[in-house]
């Protein structure tokens, strides 16, 4: 059995998948963090190769029965243990025209998409003293990069930050551009007008629900508890 180990980055992930698909025999793919040396395997380090990764990305779009770049990317962002093997299995089956519906990769892709779509609504910006708009989130999956394009065009006329507190990463946006940078969890002092506006929003939100129709179960299903601490109307 051959074991391929990549550096944990996305280009590395694409490189190792691209290489693995050309190999014969049984293969396992691990990231450096996941890898535990086994007794019988022969581990081989695969260096991330940006050009090769870009080539392989094109292949994912054009050379498979259907475009599969998105499932591969989303499965990677799900950050599940053993993603490399899962995605490899998925691509391998596709190549041999085996059935892949209800594959774990599809499920992961669905889960990541769902959280992304939810988060487009649940991100709450606060204006901070230095004048930009800051939002902190704790998503299950690594989705800030997926949120960025939406907010880059939506919030184009001011600077904004979406901060993933668990991964200590943030998207910084300014004038339609954005970049992802490491950012430790720090507290930013709020702008003076902020408290008043948040109060208006909370009161509006409360007054919106019709007293005779209260349905907390439905609310809890649609707004899972783990998102509450970061929602202005709930926190």
Partner 1 sequence: MELVDRLKILTAGARYDASCVSSGSRRKKAGGSMGICHSWTEDGRCVSLLKILQTNDCIYNCRYCVHRTDTDGPRTSLSAREIAELTVNFYRRNYIEGLFLSSAVRGSPAQAMETMLASVKILREEYKFPGYIHLKGIPGVDESLLKKAGYFADRMSVNIELPSAESLKKLAPQKKPADIFNPMHFLEKNRREEKGFLGAGQSTQLIIGASPESDREIISLASYLYGKFSLSRIFYSAYMPTGDPRYIPGVQNPPLLREHRLYQADWLFRFYHFSFDEIIPPGQNDLETELDPKSAWALRNFWFFPVEVNQASYRELLKIPGIGPVSARRIIKARKERTLDFSHLKKLGIIMKRACFFVTCGGRRIPGLPSDPDHIRPFLTMPVSRPRQPRLFAPPGGERF
Question: Which spans of this chain sit near partner 1 (rule: CB under 8 A)?
Answer: 97-102, 117, 120-127, 133, 135, 150-151, 153-156, 158, 197, 199-201, 203-210, 212-219, 222-223, 231-233
Strand pairing category for 133-137 and 160-164: parallel
Q: Which CB, 39 or 102, lies closer to partner 1?
A: 102
**Cross-strand pairs, 9:** none
User: Which of 125-151 are b and which e, b meaning 16 or more Cβ less than 10 Å from the residue's Cβ?
Assistant: bbbbeeebbbbbbebebbbbbbbbeeb
Residue 112 burial class via C-beta count within 10 angstroms: exposed 0-12, middle 13-18, buried 19 and up? buried
Residue 217 CB, nearest approach to partner 1 (Å): 8
Q: Which CB, 187 or 217, lies closer to partner 1?
A: 217
Q: Which CB, 39 or 208, lies closer to partner 1?
A: 208
Residue 66 CB, nearest approach to partner 1 (Å): 9
Residue 116 CB, nearest approach to partner 1 (Å): 11
Residue 46 CB, nearest approach to partner 1 (Å): 31
Task: Please give the Cα distance from 64 to 81 (Å, whole number).
Answer: 25
Q: Which CB, 184 or 211, lies closer to partner 1?
A: 211
User: Which of 91-107 are b and which e, b meaning 16 or more Cβ less than 10 Å from the residue's Cβ?
Assistant: beebeeeeebeebbbee
Phi/psi of residue 106, nearest 5 degrees: -60, -40
In the block, residue with structure tokens 């053993």: 82
Residue 214 CB, nearest approach to partner 1 (Å): 5
Q: Is 79 left (phi over 0), alpha (psi -120 to 50) or beta?
A: left
Q: Which CB, 5 or 94, lies closer to partner 1?
A: 94
Residue 9 CB, nearest approach to partner 1 (Å): 29
Q: Which CB, 192 or 222, lies closer to partner 1?
A: 222
């Amino acid at each position: 059995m051959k074991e391929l180990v990549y550096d944990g980055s996305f280009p590395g992930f694409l490189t190792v998948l691209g290489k693995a698909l050309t190999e014969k025999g049984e293969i396992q793919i691990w990231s450096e963090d996941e890898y535990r040396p086994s007794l019988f395997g022969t581990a081989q380090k695969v260096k991330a190769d940006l050009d090769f990764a870009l080539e392989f990305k094109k292949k994912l779009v054009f050379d498979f029965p259907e475009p599969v770049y998105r499932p591969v990317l989303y499965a990677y962002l799900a950050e599940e243990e053993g993603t490399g093997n899962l995605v490899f299995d998925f691509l391998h089956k596709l190549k041999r025209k085996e059935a892949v519906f209800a594959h774990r990769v599809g499920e992961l892709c669905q889960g990541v998409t769902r959280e992304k779509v939810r988060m487009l609504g649940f991100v709450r910006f606060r204006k901070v003293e230095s004048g930009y708009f800051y939002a902190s989130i704790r998503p299950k999956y690594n989705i800030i990069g997926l949120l960025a394009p939406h907010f880059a065009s939506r919030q184009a006329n001011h600077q904004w930050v979406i901060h993933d507190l668990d991964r200590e990463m943030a998207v910084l946006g300014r004038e339609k551009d954005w970049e992802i940078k490491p950012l430790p969890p720090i507290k930013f002092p709020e702008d003076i007008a902020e408290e008043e506006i948040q109060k208006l929003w909370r009161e509006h939100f409360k007054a919106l629900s019709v007293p005779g129709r209260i349905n907390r179960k439905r609310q809890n299903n649609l707004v899972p508890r783990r998102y509450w601490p970061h929602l202005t109307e709930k926190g």
